[in-house]
Amino acid sequence: MDALLPDAMVDAPPVDASWVAGPDLPVGRTLSCAVAVDGFVFSIAGVASSVNQNRVYRSAIAGRSLEPWVETTPLPVPTRWHSCAVHAATHSIFVVGGSTVQNDTTGAVFRGAVSSSGDVTWTVQPDLPAPRRGASAVVVGDSLFVLGGEEADGFALRRTIYAALVQGSGNLAPFTTSPSLPSDDYMMGVAASGSRIFVTGGFTGATAVRSASAVGLVVSGFANQTPLVERRERHAASVIAGWLYVTGGEPIFNGQNLVTTQRAPLDINGSVGMWEPQPDLPEPIAYVASATTAELMYVVGGSADNGVTNSVYIFIPESP
């Protein structure tokens, strides 16, 4: 009977969650960032062969795979330990903070305007009020938020949240200070869904943490959520189809790389439910640079057990 029904009326078979390999980056890199926008995944700056890079690579999304990587316009300056976020409505990539070639922490912010062909035009934006590296950046609505991070060497960790309006041109208004994180934190996972920001794990200055927090409108403050199954820092967090995912990272500072992936459901109020296991990464990775679309998560480079990697992995969630 199914063969006689319109395609839209035939149930697709369920698909188990899985990781698949994508095309390798041209070079291994870590302390980088990755974003997905306008049908492309971008890998931005970081460290390769122990040297800060300003190179930017892009790969066109091809269904559940990626096209080979090509180099596009570099960042104005080499950087590492920065964070990135996307404002889709203005086709903008924001690169925030990081460490310079001289190992100074920076508050520099750049906007990359993405063309239909995937070319990027970089412009200087208002600086953060204070330098940050190992912070997390995320866009909610028309605002860019920069959470936590390290202000200087010696674990000068901060709980501050800075916010800047993304204007119609795609450029940023000056940053202001929003209500803070519950504690100093850096190298945490951050993801957004609707008007909520989710913060997972991180490093508080003593150890990696298991906490998971969520915030509605930033002015309403954070509320504790179901903790992670294991301590996790230097990992990635993503929201896909109503689930909050975490993958990779480390359980303690400079500890064994994690291979595990976990997910928890988000209810209609944005609360985080119980965590459950998902397929492991193909290899343990920390300093995870990840990009997310509505359906897929991409892990791009990072630090593997045998050193800096150029591997790219694509996570395909299960379908009902």
Reported as a single tens digit per residue, the pLDDT across 80-125 is 999 999 999 999 999 999 999 888 999 999 999 999 999 999 999 9
Confidence of residue 15 (pLDDT cuts 50, 70, 90): low
Q: Measured between alpha carbons, how far is 62 from 40 in angstroms, rounded to an integer? A: 9
- Helices and strands, counts by H and E, the chain: 0, 26
Those residues with Cβ within 8 angstroms of residue 56's Cβ, 6 or more apart along the chain or in another chain: 42, 43, 44, 45, 71, 72, 73, 74, 75, 112, 120
- pLDDT tens-digit readout, 136-183: 999 999 999 999 999 988 889 999 999 999 999 999 999 999 989 988
How far is the C-alpha of 266 from the C-alpha of 232, rounded, in Å? 20
| Per-residue pLDDT at 219 exceeds 50 | no
Query: Is CATH 2.120.10.80 the classification given to domain 22-314?
Result: yes
Please provide the average confidence, as pLDDT, over all residues in the chain: 90
Residue 226: band (very low, low, confident or very high) from pLDDT cuts 50, 70, 90: confident
224 — pLDDT class (breaks 50, 70, 90): confident
Nearest CA to 275 among 266, 283, 286? 266
Mean pLDDT of 14-41: 95
How sure is the predictor about 6, in pLDDT bands with cuts at 50, 70 and 90? very low
Domain residue ranges in the chain? 22-314
Higher model confidence: residue 252 or residue 166?
166
Q: For the residues 32-38, what does the mean pLDDT come to?
A: 98
Question: What is the residue type of 108?
Answer: A
Asked if the model's pLDDT at residue 191 lies above 90, the reply is yes
pLDDT at 9 over 50: no
The pLDDT of residue 153:
81
> What letter represents residue 112's amino acid?
G
What pLDDT was estimated at residue 270? 79
- pLDDT band, residue 269 (cuts 50/70/90): confident
Q: Residue 5 pLDDT more than 60? A: no
Q: Which residue has the tokens 């800075």?
A: 162
